[in-house]
Amino acid sequence: MHPNKAADEIVKPSWPEGQWSTGLFDCCEDRSICLKSFFCPCITVGQIVEIIDRGTTSSGTACGIFAALNAVHCTWLYTSNYRTKLRALYKLPEAPYGDQTVHCCCCVCGITQEYRELKNRGVDPSMGWEGNVEKWKREGAIVPPFFPSDMAR
């Protein structure tokens, strides 16, 4: 296989650009993520945050922040911010509801959708940032497949 072929396949998803790959209420499409997000949302959120922050925030740190905010019922402030960042990365619409509404009213649905979106775009949040970088190197991807160059830190 041509070294850039794998990267091209990851970059060009099978769904139209600017659309979510799954719906907000498709939680049970991946039951394991749905159950993990329902019973231990801090783990799912931590994995999502580590990927979106390109490894600068570890999943453990993000999990701790989520747990602390959960004590005062303000997790939606933290998680909706990362939904906004994810949408900006992939040029996704703020639909069917605003980011804060999704995370205030249907947090489990929101984080499972975000997790699925990353997976459907060639990222495995459970592997962490470094694990995904290694995977992309093995597949011949020159750069992470989902971050535009102007988003680099």
Q: What is the pLDDT of residues 42-97, one digit of tens each?
A: 999 999 999 999 999 999 999 999 999 999 999 999 999 999 999 999 999 998 89
**Share of residues in the chain with pLDDT > 90 (%):** 63
CB neighbours of residue 114 within 10 Å: 30
∠118-62-151 over CA atoms, to 5°?
50
